[in-house]
Amino acid sequence: MSSQAPEKAAVPQEHHGHGKLRAAVVVGALGVVFGDIGTSPIYTIQTLFNPDDPHPVPITGDNILGAISTIFWSVMIIVTLTYITLVMRVNNDGEGGIMALITLLRRWGTSTGRRSAVALALLGIFGAALFFGDSMITPAISVLSAIEGLELVRPGFDSAVVPITAVIIVVLFSLQRRGTAAVGRLFGPVMILWFVTIGAAGIGGIAQHPRILEALSPTYAIEFLAGNFHIAFFALAAVVLSVTGAEALYADMGHFGRKAIVYGWLGLVLPALTLSYFGQGALLLGDHGAVGGPFFLLVPEWGRLPLVILATAATVIAAQAVITGAYSVASQAGQLGYLPRLRIAHTSESTVGQIYVPWINWLLMVAVLVLVFAFRSSAALAYAYGMAVIGTITITTLLFFYFARVRWNAPLWLVLTGGTILLAIDLLFLSANLTKIVHGAWLPLLIGLTAFTVMATWQRGRQIVTAERDRAEGSLREFVADLQKRPALARVPGTAVFLNRGKQTAPLALRANVEHNHVRHDQVIILSIETLPVPRLADDQRTEVDDLGSADDGILHVNARYGYMETPDVPALLRSLDAAYTEGTISADEASYFLSKIELARGDSATMAPWRKRLFIATSYITADAAEFFSLPRDRTVIMGSRIEV
């Protein structure tokens, strides 16, 4: 990182002016942030007491009270305490999520122990890889669980559940290219209606059997776990479904600020979820037969079809949230060097975070459809879902406590005490989900391991290719000094921009232009794009110019810095550069752009295992076109290639 890179992050920060929180921001957060966790009541209790579960929980009064208490206190500990109170106090220039924690570890963790920081960063990458599994499972289980409510409205409708779900998913992914700006304004009101509705339904259930309120006492959860551990332990694999979407609260912090999410959670979402869970528990106390669909059976028969329609809308919003999250994770991973540079389309002129990544979109759509047709029910998918959720939560908790120690200098006794307690709870949930490996929990692990292998291989392959390129390119300053000793070299009018990785080596395209075409332009700009581990940079921190010791020879090196959530626009950068540094000597609208294209081939060196070399080369084929990524004009872009073996 350049010495001039901004050093700001990991402090509480709001983006909404003078500490004031506008109601519209809270409404927006309700529509985007809480969709996943807000739809968990549809399937959590139904899954927990599912008689077809390989480790069923008997439906008794004590078990119902114990299970509801366990759900409530799990939400309080994992969501309210771990995420809302602790983890969300860490931000990277306002941005949250596991990728933000990884970049903070890269920046500060190495100062206290490089090996531990690197190991934890790799663990964080695995957590990000698990999020891709979450992004595949959430749309499938959410929409399936909502459409399954039709079976209660019209018995015998079960054969239509999977086809209807598939159609909704295809439409959802097909509309992604249009962006969420237009429908996003509807998300908040829909989710407010959703939370008010499920809260009211819960109140109705509680009124019938108010004894369920005894489950507010943690003693019921403790007795359930301690007195029936052989049952309760396996039940935790379903209880964890109540905290699905906890990571989304953190990941979307940059869009709305911590304060909006805290207000939305404490003011509406937590009360509504609590009422829904307790209402369903009360219903089961009075009618054990309602276990087939306690969420929908909470409302009168006349209200079930409208609730199914509202649930479908809410689950589509929940799916939208994780799909958008997958775009962001893929984009940030590409900017940080863990994935190839992917084609990214910005779908909103006013909201930077609204992006569309076509390759990720269609990959997710195919994966979600496969899951729908393979598992065919939300109950079957629930076994897989829990593993993806708790895996990411556990890794985030671990990274937070490490960061609190190395960056905030939190007392060791406090870190060990708090970390031990919260991680013990996370690991208890994780071990319970491991018992579901053969019943579907293998799926997110497989997805996570696959994505992690791809990202780790890409990072390693890039290191190898970079070393080979350094040898082929040679010193930039020596090359420029050599140009000054070649007065016979033909000079043509105009500006040539050569994109390069830094200013240590000479661009391959520039070498080829001089050595084979025997020509150079009057104005030569060697441009390096540097992605910093911060989301965005101010314009006054954007560029650094170096004349390379040839101030009178028209050769400049420009280092342009961008945050990992920004997309470089080279022509726009060139125009700002012309105004600030070159006094009109750059022909910004007529400049020619030169790219060095690398053709990868598998060599005999022992740099990586042969299968990893094949994977690295195969992954390189999804790399976005550099000219498109950097917004270069096609008619003025020249691509010159070279071959490198890995």
Q: What is the pLDDT of residues 499-517, one digit of tens each?
A: 887 778 888 888 888 887 7
Token pair for 526: 């060697």
Residue 181: which domain range?
23-440
Greater confidence (626 vs 169) lies with 169
218 and 111 fall within a common domain: yes
- Which of 392, 421, 440 terminates a domain? The answer is 440
223 and 324 fall within a common domain: yes
Query: Could you report the per-residue pLDDT of 539-554, keeping only the tens digit for each?
Result: 778 888 887 766 567 7
Does 446 reside within a domain? no
Contact 560, 543 (CB under 8 A): yes
The runs of H, that is alpha helices, within 531-622 are: 570-577, 610-620
- Which of 424, 440, 456 terminates a domain? The answer is 440
d(CA 628, CA 569): 10
d(CA 236, CA 496): 62
d(CA 569, CA 274): 47
Does 447 reside within a domain? no
User: For the chain, what percent of residues have pLDDT higher than 90?
Assistant: 31
Domain tally for the chain? 2
Contact 640, 596 (CB under 8 A): yes
Q: What is the mean pLDDT of the chain?
A: 83
d(CA 479, CA 508): 11
170 and 315 fall within a common domain: yes
Token pair for 371: 């899951």
Cα 364–chain centre separation: 13
95 and 173 fall within a common domain: yes
State the pairing for strand pair 592-601/490-500.
Answer: parallel
Does 13 reside within a domain? no
CA 291 to each of CA 52, 57, 377, 451, 461: distance values in angstroms, whole numbers, following the listed order: 12, 11, 15, 37, 52
Average pLDDT of the residues in 77-95: 89
CATH (domain of 27): 1.20.1740.10
The full length of the chain comes to 646
Contact 376, 128 (CB under 8 A): no
pLDDT of residue 565: 67
pLDDT of residue 199: 96
Does 458 reside within a domain? no
Query: Could you report the per-residue pLDDT of 269-318, keeping only the tens digit for each?
Result: 999 999 999 999 999 999 988 888 899 999 998 899 999 999 998 988 88
539 and 421 fall within a common domain: no
CA 470 to each of CA 308, 391, 476, 511: distance values in angstroms, whole numbers, following the listed order: 60, 39, 10, 13
Token pair for 314: 């809410």
Left (φ > 0), alpha (ψ -120 to 50) or beta: where does 602 sit? beta
Q: pTM, whole model, 2 decimals?
A: 0.79
Q: Which residue has the tokens 């992605």?
A: 531
417 and 476 fall within a common domain: no
Does 55 reside within a domain? yes
- Position 595 confidence tier, pLDDT thresholds 50, 70, 90: confident
Q: List CB contacts of 520: < 8 A, sequence separation 6 or more.
A: 483, 489, 490, 491, 492, 496, 513, 514
